Amino acid sequence: MQFHVNPSGELPIYRQIMRQITDAIAGGRVAAGDQLPSHRDLAAQLVIAPLTVKKAYDELEREGLITTQRGRGTYVSESLPVVDAAQRRERLREAAQQLLTQAALSGVPLAEVVRLLKEIQKGMKS
């Protein structure tokens, strides 16, 4: 998968990495059991501090999305975690709230928003 970091971006660097990995998993671009680069390799290649990458990996590991085995490497988890259904709905609701607020402030009608969502989903699948 392709990693891409913007030090001055909206999110802190570790979150950008987390999001990219999460997106890749969600979009099927990496499969369960695939190997990810070691945190040192990724740090060297993206030119960011190794501790930052480690932080991202640690967080993802805590959420159960990846596992690190000493001496063997970091892999996408075989079995992805089951997030509590209610929690999932809550998170989605919050995200939707933000999206619709933005749309309202920018004067974008609901139909347009739905079209946009479909477009993005198509992009994720490819």
Partner 1 sequence: MLALIRRDPLLGSPAAILRVLVALLLGTSVAEGVRTFAATATEGAMPGHFANRVYVAAALWLAPAILLLLSKTRERCRAMDLALPIEARRLWLAHTQTIWLLGLVLLAAGAGVLWGYEKIVFAIPGKIPVPDQNLELVVIPLAISLVLAVAALQSFRPGLQQVPADRSYRAVVLLMLGGGLGLGIALSKLPWFASLLPLVFAIGLTARTYHSLPPTFATSPREAESTSEPVRTAGTQEWETHAETGSGKSHSALYY
Partner 2 sequence: MKALEFENIHRAYRRGADVLKGITFSVDAGEVVGLVGKNGAGKTTLIRIAMGMLEAQTGHVRVLGLDPRTDALDMKRRVGYVSEDQILPEFLTVGAVVRLHRALFPTWDDQLERRLRERFELAPRARIKTLSKGQARQVALLCAIAHRPEVLLLDEPAGGLDPAARREFLETSIQLLNEAGSTILFSSHYMTDVERMAGRIVMIHEGCLLLDGALDDLREQYSLALLPRGPVGWHDRLIGLSGCISVREQSDSLHAVFRLEPQQCRSLLQRELHISDARCLSITLDDMFVELVEGRP
Encoded tokens for 125: 């699948």
Query: Residue 10's binding partner, choosing from partner 2, partner 1, none, with beta-carbon cut-off 5 to 8 A by kind?
Result: partner 2
Query: Residue 98's binding partner, choosing from partner 1, partner 2, none, with beta-carbon cut-off 5 to 8 A by kind?
Result: partner 2
Q: Between 1 and 108, whose beta carbon lies closer to partner 1?
A: 1
Q: Between 18 and 46, whose beta carbon lies closer to partner 1?
A: 46
With CB under 8 A as the contact rule, the residue among 2, 8, 79, 87 that binds partner 2 is 8
> Nearest-CA neighbor of 74 among 30, 110, 109?
30
Q: Are 22 and 59 in contact (CB under 8 A)?
A: no
* Backbone dihedral angles phi then psi of residue 85, each to the nearest 5 degrees: -60, -45
Q: In residues, how long is the chain? A: 126
Q: Binding segment for partner 2 among 44-52, 71-79, 84-92, 118-126 (CB under 8 A)?
A: 44-52
Encoded tokens for 60: 């993802």
